[in-house]
Chain A
Amino acid sequence: MKVNKIIEGCLKKDKKSWDIFVQKYSRLIYWAIRKRLAVSNFKFSQDGIDCIFQEVFVSILNGGKLFQLKDIKTIASWLAVIASNKTVDFMRRKIKEDKRLVVEMPVLKDDKSEQELYKRDLLNVLGSIIDTLPVKEKIVISLNLIEGRTHKEIAEIIAVPVNTVSTVIARAKEKVKKELEKRGLKDL
């Protein structure tokens, strides 16, 4: 069954269409929930995941979410973001009930040279470089280093040439290296 027919069927509350929809997109929604939980500092259980999973489908079926889908081609992204938002709402509710569910962020490696540099305002050095970057370059660095996206993927996301992405990343690293070398840190 084609996706638009499935969606039409779901909007008309057709059981068969709904079953196909759930079967087709379960894996994606489950993945999105786990991904959002993985990057958060939140202690979660399988019950929590199950609960969020059901809430996502409830909001799609009964919350009128399907009416908000503008473009069938973007359904995968759309569902992933809904699942992510539901996960965030769930986390907020649970944290309100029990603040112990928030996990402490890990501390930096205990390396002598890093500690020294830390004392010499490592974060300020990095901050001064990152904060002065133009908007798009900051996004490029973040997508590459935090989200782990390749140069080609970043180029696709923010609609810039791949060469530009590579240049931006190389330039930022070079800048950081020079600044840190100025402050006496070697073997970079």
Chain B
Amino acid sequence: MRKIEEYLKNYLKKELSNIEKTPQCLDQEVLLDYLERKLGGQERKDVEEHLSQCNFCLSQLNLAFEAKKSNIRSIGGKVPSGLVNKAKTLLKNDKSAIGRGGGSRMKKNLFLAGAIIFFIISFLLPKYFMQCLVATLVLGIGWAFESENGRTFIMVLDSWRRHSHDEDDEISNRLKDRFKSPHL
């Protein structure tokens, strides 16, 4: 029977030798759902129909199964440590972006803290009331610009102002047209 197996193997390998992914190939999620038996009756049948004709997807299924069953600590060979360290440093680059975000938050908080402090001082030191109020106003505006909500609020105000100007223009044009009308 070994020869029969050989013939069958050779035939299958030859027929399905181009393990190419095609646009009809199964989506990764579908393949994994099939393996985990999460697909319904017809979906399962459709997947099996494809698997019977596509060696790429069959090999993907086989790979997924083997990965599932294996001990990830001992599967395959050792990975060069340089590769692993390089992969770890991928997040180091991202972390700097997060650092920048953290700095902006601190700046925003400083503006707010400063505005509150000067506001309190303006009542404690009546002699410098106006100066402290001005400082409060300046720091408050700084906080508003730093904060996203503040920026959104300014955008809304600006849009309302422009919209109301547009409405005024429209009303005045209508009035002009009315006076120009021959019916009068």
Contacts and interface: CB of A to CB of B under 8 A. Distances in A.
A164 to B, nearest CB: 14
Contact of A27 (B5, B9, B21, B79): B79
A91 B11 CA distance: 25
Given A27-B79, A36-B63, A157-B65, A173 B52 contact: no
B14 A22 contact: no
Given A123-B14, A188-B3, A138 B52 contact: yes
B95 A13 contact: yes
Nearest to B51: A139
Interface residues of A, number: 71
Nearest to B62: A147
Contact of A127 (B15, B28, B52, B59): B15
B121 interface: no
Interface residues of B, number: 64
A54 interface: yes
A105 B12 CA distance: 13
Dominant secondary structure of chain B at its interface with chain A: helix
B83 A50 contact: yes
Interface in A144-185: 145-147, 149, 153, 156-159, 172-173, 176-177, 180
Contact of B12 (A27, A34, A142): A142
Given A40-B19, A53-B83, A81 B63 contact: yes
Nearest to A28: B72
Given A23-B84, A27-B78, A135-B48, A80 B7 contact: no
A145 to B, nearest CB: 5
A177 B4 CA distance: 6
Given A26-B84, A54-B86, A81 B64 contact: yes
Contact of B63 (A13, A57, A80, A139): A80
Interface string A76-88: 1111111011001
B176 interface: no
Dominant secondary structure of chain A at its interface with chain B: helix
Interface string A6-22: 00000001010011001
B68 A76 contact: yes
A156 B74 CA distance: 22
Interface of B: 1, 3-5, 7-19, 21, 28-29, 31-32, 35-37, 45, 48-49, 51-52, 55, 58-70, 72-80, 83-84, 86-88, 90-92, 94-95, 98
